[in-house]
Chains A and B, each alone.
Chain A
Amino acid sequence: MREICASFDEIAGLRERNAIALKVAKDRGRKVVGTYCLFSPVELIVAAGAIPVSLCGTSATPIPAAEKVLPRSLCPLIKSSYGFALTDTCPFFHFSDLLLAETTCDGKKKMYELLGRMKPLHLMQLPQVQDEAALEYWVLELKRLTRRLEQAFDVQITPEKLAAAVLLLNEERRSLKALQDLLKRKPAPISGMDLLTVLHNRGFTVDKREAIGLIDRLTAELAGLSDNGFSPFTSRTPRILLTGVPVGIGSEKVVRLVEELGGSVVCFESCGAYKKVDPVLPGKDLLRSIAEKYLRVPCSCMSPNTGRLQLLEKLVQEFQADGVIDLTWQGCHTYNVESFTVKRHLQETVQVPFLQIETDYSESDTEQLKVRIEAFLEVIGTRRGGRP
C-alpha cells in the first residue's frame, strides 16, 4: 500500500508526528482533553478551544502493570487504558489536562474512579436507555460538561463556537464515511488492516482540518487506484463485516488473521469506525441535537440496543458482506451477551454466516483462532457453491 499511495504513508506516521505537535500546541497554551469513548461529546471540547485526543487502550503492553490493581478477568481494553495511565507511557495521556469519561459499562465506570486519582476527570452520567426522558437528562449532563470546560479552561462556549464545532466534526464524519464507503466496491480497494491503520492513526491528529484534508486525499487516491482495477483482493475474496468491541492497532489480531487466511474485512461496525460517522443533525436547539446524536450511539451498554441490529442489517447489505464476525473481549459482558441477540437477528433477516470470537489482546490463542476463522471462511466458500 505504502509504495503506491502517498497519503497512506503520511497517515501511517501520524501518531508519532502528532505527539510532537501536541507538545508544541501545549507549549503555546492549548488545552488537551483525553476521551475514552464514542459517547464523549467532542463538539464541546472543540468549542472550548481545547484539543480532543483518544486514549482508548488498544495495546497489550501496559496490561501487566494494570493487573497489579485491576482484576485479571477484566476486559483488556479497560486494563490497557488504565495501564497506560499508570505507567505514564502514552504521550497523549501525559499531555491531557482533563479526562472526559462516561458511565458506560461497569468495568470502565469503576476504572474511571481510579483514574480520577491521577488526573482531573469529568464523569458524565450516561443514561442507558434511548428515550425522551433519557434525552432530557443527557442534555443536562452536556450542560454540566459545558460549565466544567468553561471553568477549567477559563473560556466561554458561545453558540457560534458550538455551531462551528458541529460543522467541523460533521465534516470529519463525512470524510471518514466516504473513505469507509470505498470498501463497498467489490473487490475492496484497500485491506481491512490498512483501513484500520488509517482510522487508528487519525485518532491522534491535533489539527482536525488538516486530517480531514488528508483523509479526503487518500480517498481520492484509492478511488483512482480502484478505478484502474487495483485491489489486494479479487471479486471472489470472502467479504467480512466485523462488529462488536472497539479494535485498534495493537488489538488487531482477528483482523490480521482474517486477511492472512484469505478474507477481506470490508467494514468495521465498531465504534472507532462506522458507528462514528453518524452526524449531528441540524435542529433548533444545537445542544439538544448534539445530545441526540450521542445518545443514539448503538453501543451494547444501552438496553435495549436495537440500533445496532438495524445498523448491522443495513451494513451487511450495503457492503455485500458474505459473513459477520462478532468480536468480543473476554470480560466484556455487554457485548458477549448481546452476541446471541445479534446472531439471531442476522439469521432471521439477512441470513449471513455468523461467528462470534471471544478473545483478548494476547497472542496465546492464535492457533485456535486460525482454525475457527479458516473454517468460517470455508463455510462461506461452500455456501457460494465452491468446493465442499
Chain B
Amino acid sequence: MVAAGIDIGSTGTKAVLFDGEIRASIVVPTGWDPKAAGLEAFRQALDCAGIAEGDVHSIVGTGYGRVSLPIFDRKVTEITCHARGAHFLHPETRSVIDIGGQDSKVISVDEHGRVAEFAMNDKCAAGTGRFLQVMAGVLDVSLEQLGQLAVGATPARISSMCAVFAESEVIGLLARGADKGSIAAGIFHSIAGRIQGLAGKVTLSHRVTFSGGVALNRELCSAIGASLGVDMCVPHAPQMVGALGAAIMGFEA
C-alpha cells in the first residue's frame, strides 16, 4: 500500500509518497497554477519512487490549494497534517511551529500526533514568510543571505510588527547607516516576538518542532528558540512536514 500527500502552498507545492516509510519527497514552485503544480509534484514523486499511479491507493491534499485538485480522495487542513508529520518524525513532539508564506501557526499535539489546540496569526503578514520576504527585499538580499547576515550580529530594534510599517522602519535604519547584519538579526527577533505572542495562546511544551520552508533558515530557528526559551527541533526537510502528514493520513485511512 502506498499513499500520496500533496501540499499545495502559496509558494511551493510538495508531494510525498509513503508506505510506512517515505518513498519520495518532491518540491516544485506553485507558480500561478496550483492545480498544475499539484499534478506535476505528484508525477515527479511517482517517477522518483518508480511507482505507478494505479498503485497509489489514497491521495490526500492539504495547503491552500487543496480545494483545486479533483484527484484527492480526501482533503485535510495543513494544521492537522503538520501535527501528524511532525509526530512521525519526532514522536516526542508536543508543539509544532509552522511559519508559512501567508500565515504562521502554533499547534499543540498530543501523544498520538493529534491536534489538541492551535493558534494562527490574524489577518496581517506580521510573523509570516511574507514578512521575511519583504524585509529581505528591502535589504536587497536573498532569504539565505538574510540568515547568514544575522549570524553573530547584535539585533537592531525593529518595533513594528506590521510589514508595511516595518519596511519604512528598516529603510530608516539603513538611511541612518545601520549595519545590515544587525538589521537582519532585528528582523528575526521581530518575527520571534510575534510567534511568541501566538505561542502564548496555546500550551507550549518544551518539545517543539519547527516545520515549514522558513525553518530552513537556521538563524531564524535559533532566534525563535531563544525567545521562547525552548530547544527547537528542526527536521531535515521542514518544508515537507505537511505533505508527509497528509500521506500518513492517507496510509492509515
Binding site for B on A (CB under 8 A): 330, 353, 358-359, 364-365, 367-368, 371-372, 374-375, 378-379, 382-383, 387-388
Contacts and interface: CB of A to CB of B under 8 A. Distances in A.
Nearest to B110: A382
9 contacts: A330-B122, A365-B122, A371-B77, A372-B118, A374-B77, A378-B115, A382-B114, A383-B114, A388-B114
Contacts of B38: none
A48 B77 CA distance: 55
Contact of B123 (A365, A374, A378, A382): A365
A375 B120 CA distance: 11
A377 to B, nearest CB: 9
B252 A379 contact: no
B interface bracket (residues with beta carbon within 8 Å of A): 20 to 34
Contacts of B249: 387-388
Contacts of A382: 80, 114-115
B252 A387 contact: yes
Given A368-B102, A378-B76, 9 more contacts: A365-B122, A367-B64, A368-B123, A372-B120, A375-B79, A378-B80, A379-B114, A379-B117, A382-B80
A255 B57 CA distance: 35
B113 interface: yes
Contacts of A330: 122
B14 interface: no
A368 B120 contact: yes
B122 A388 contact: no
B118 A388 contact: no
Which secondary structure dominates where chain B touches chain A?
mixed
Contacts of A372: 79, 118, 120
A204 to B, nearest CB: 32
B79 A388 contact: no
Interface string B93-117: 0000000001100000000111111
A161 to B, nearest CB: 49
A94 to B, nearest CB: 34
A243 B118 CA distance: 19
B78 interface: yes
B168 to A, nearest CB: 19
B84 interface: yes
Interface in B104-147: 112-118, 120, 122-123
B120 A388 contact: no
B253 interface: yes
Nearest to A377: B77
Contacts of B116: 379
**Most B C-beta atoms less than 10 A away, residue of A353, A358, A379, A388:** A388
Contacts of A388: 80, 84, 112-114, 249, 252
A356 to B, nearest CB: 8
Contacts of B253: 387
A326 to B, nearest CB: 12
Contacts of A353: 117
Nearest to A365: B123
Contacts of B114: 379, 382-383, 388
**Most B C-beta atoms less than 10 A away, residue of A353, A359, A364, A374:** A374
A388 B112 CA distance: 9
Contacts of A358: 122
B84 A378 contact: no
